Amino acid sequence: MIQITPHMRIMLAVEPADFRKGIDGLAGICRGVLHADPLSGSVFIFRNRTFTSIKILIYDGQGFWLCQKRLSKGRFHWWPDKNEQKMKLLAAHELQLLLWNGNPSASPVGKMWKKIET
């Protein structure tokens, strides 16, 4: 089981990824496009072109986990604009909202009293 905690660094790729890619291809995107080390233990989030599926890549110290969620109906409603950076950092609760097809930027949540450095 993979547990997402507030201490994890969660990086969301803004541009769509080719979902024919597996672990090695997505790790290459982490290095080449996001300029991040896929072996760092960070959580990397990718989406396909049609907004119907997301993939999550995580290295746990022994190997990679590659998880995918494909919606049975509809599309993911929220994703950062391409005008922003190539990567956006998310908090753990924002990833949970995204996985349930919510909008992390519009959901009312309590403010952080003291931000946890990721």
2-40 pLDDT, tens digit each? 788 888 999 999 999 999 999 999 999 999 999 999 999
Q: In this structure, are residues 10 and 90 in contact, taking their beta carbons and an 8 Å threshold?
A: yes
The 10 Å Cβ neighbour count of residue 104 is 18
**Residue 59 lies in domain:** 10-99
Q: Is residue 41 part of a domain?
A: yes
pLDDT recorded at residue 1:
65
| Helix (H) / strand (E) containing 43 | strand 43-47
The 10 Å Cβ neighbour count of residue 92 is 16
Q: Is residue 24 part of a domain?
A: yes
pLDDT recorded at residue 82:
76
Q: Is residue 109 part of a domain?
A: no
Q: Is residue 115 part of a domain?
A: no
pLDDT in tens, 36-93: 999 999 999 999 999 999 999 999 999 999 999 999 999 998 988 877 678 888 888 8
- Which residues, including other chains, have CB under 8 Å from residue 61's CB and lie 6 or more apart? 41
Q: Is residue 32 part of a domain?
A: yes
**How many domains, the chain?**
1
pLDDT recorded at residue 118:
65
pTM > 0.75: yes
Q: Is residue 116 part of a domain?
A: no
Q: Is residue 15 part of a domain?
A: yes
Q: How confident is the model at residue 113 (pLDDT cuts 50, 70, 90)?
A: confident
Q: Is residue 3 part of a domain?
A: no
